[in-house]
Amino acid sequence: MLELKRAKEEISDEVVLNQQRDFRINALKDVLMEKLDQVRALDNEIKLIKAKRQALLEIGDLINQEMSRLLEEWSQGGSNDANDKIA
């Protein structure tokens, strides 16, 4: 009888430990999922920033090309239109 009582207590203790372990595992899963969502959001932000940076670089290149063209026209005594654009 004593052995049966002790076995029941051990099983009960094991059940409690398993429940506590499962609770901790689920809590950690929730934290990890939240962190994963944050990482995904940051990754999307980084992609957006990179795209904006690339667009700005392309705009800068176009501006430089246009300035070079206008300066070339101006240095060759180009049209009044080119002189007006620089002024």
* Confidence (pLDDT) at 6: 82
Cα 11 to the center of its chain, rounded Å? 47
Can you say whether residue 16 is alpha, beta or left, with left for phi > 0 and alpha for psi between -120 and 50 degrees? alpha
Cα separation, 80 vs 4, whole angstroms: 107
CA dihedral 13, 15, 19, 20 (to 10 degrees): 20
pLDDT of 15 higher than 60: yes
Cα separation, 3 vs 18, whole angstroms: 22
Q: Provide the domain limits for residue 40.
A: 2-86
Spatial contact of 74 and 82, defined as CB atoms under 8 Å apart: yes
Number of domains comprising the chain? 1
For residue range 41-86, what is the model confidence (pLDDT) as tens digits? 999 999 999 999 999 999 999 999 999 999 999 999 865 555 555 5
Q: What average pLDDT does the segment 21-44 reach?
A: 99
Q: CA dist 82 to 21, 63, 65, Å?
A: 77, 15, 14
pTM above 0.75, yes or no: no
pLDDT of 11 higher than 60: yes
* Confidence (pLDDT) at 38: 99
